[in-house]
Amino acid sequence: MGKNKLQKFSDMSFYPHVFQYPFSVLKEKGFELKANWNDAFFKNDHPIVLELGCGKGEYTVGLAELFPDKNFIGVDIKGARMWTGAKQSSEKGLTNVAFIRTQIELIDHFFGPGEVAEIWLTFPDPQMRKVGKRLTSSRFLRLYRKFLLPEGIIHLKTDSNFLYAYTWEMIKLNDFPVLADTDDLYHSNVADDILSIQTFYEKQWRERGLNIKYLKFVVKEKAEIKEPDIEIPHDIYRSYHRGRLNELFGS
């Protein structure tokens, strides 16, 4: 592990708005802020919004600046990436920001029923071969529903045609209300100050000429969530860290 990464991990342990809980601790002691974030940490009754897979935390910090009347929590397992958002929010003096370093599969250990108003999924791995790992799969939507408000909102921003199409199939099959939809965000009338906040990876996707897709929908409280049984064409390019296909983007 590089010296710079070690320093970032050290910094993270001193930020009062960063929480790092391994599963062993959660299992033994639980999380003290669960169902008590507003009273014990934020000291207000504002709605709580999560960014799952927050990466460097650009969206979490950007949204917190735009909406001081909401509380924002970024979640990711990569502490060295999250350090950027933790540092920026601290330097900006933002009191409506927090970060949790954990696996998304464990997120229900951190929030009580009805404690979260909205969830942002910003450029998650589409997991084309692993249904259960897709962040809009029935598995995860059932998980989110444990702590979302009855009319809680999910936002998806993605470069992936596959994940966009899959999520639409999920929405149609389960009759979820759709509040906004576009398969070309920056050439639509949907883009606004919120959606125009760009993450590090989003900028790179756009430089590669990829359209950004956006879905905003509601997960119904009581309905059983069904998994679509349909073949969806896979993306014909690789995720950014694995390089790119020559026929689309050159060598």
The count of C-alpha atoms lying within 13 angstroms of the C-alpha of 99, restricted to the half-sphere facing its C-beta, is 33
Q: How much is the pLDDT for 238? A: 63
pLDDT digits (tens, 9 = 90+) for 220-251: 887 799 999 999 999 987 655 434 443 343 32
Q: How much is the pLDDT for 192? A: 77
Q: How much is the pLDDT for 249? A: 36
Kindly give the parts of the chain with pLDDT less than 70: 1-3, 6, 9, 238-251
Residue 1 contacts by C-beta under 8 Å, 6 or more apart in sequence?
none
Residue 47's CB: how many other CB atoms inside 10 A? 17
Q: How much is the pLDDT for 88? A: 96
Beta-sheet pairing, 213-218 with 148-158 = antiparallel
Catalytic residue of the set 11, 125, 181, 183: 125
Owner of token pair 């009273």: 39
Q: Do residues 69 and 95 touch, judged by C-beta distance below 8 A?
A: no
Residue 181 annotated to the active site? no
3-state SS class at 10: helix
Q: How much is the pLDDT for 251? A: 29
Q: How much is the pLDDT for 243? A: 43
Residues 12 and 81: their CA atoms lie apart, in Å, by 11
pTM score of the predicted model: 0.90
Q: How much is the pLDDT for 1? A: 45
Q: How much is the pLDDT for 239? A: 57
Q: Do residues 180 and 216 touch, judged by C-beta distance below 8 A?
A: yes
Q: How much is the pLDDT for 170? A: 97
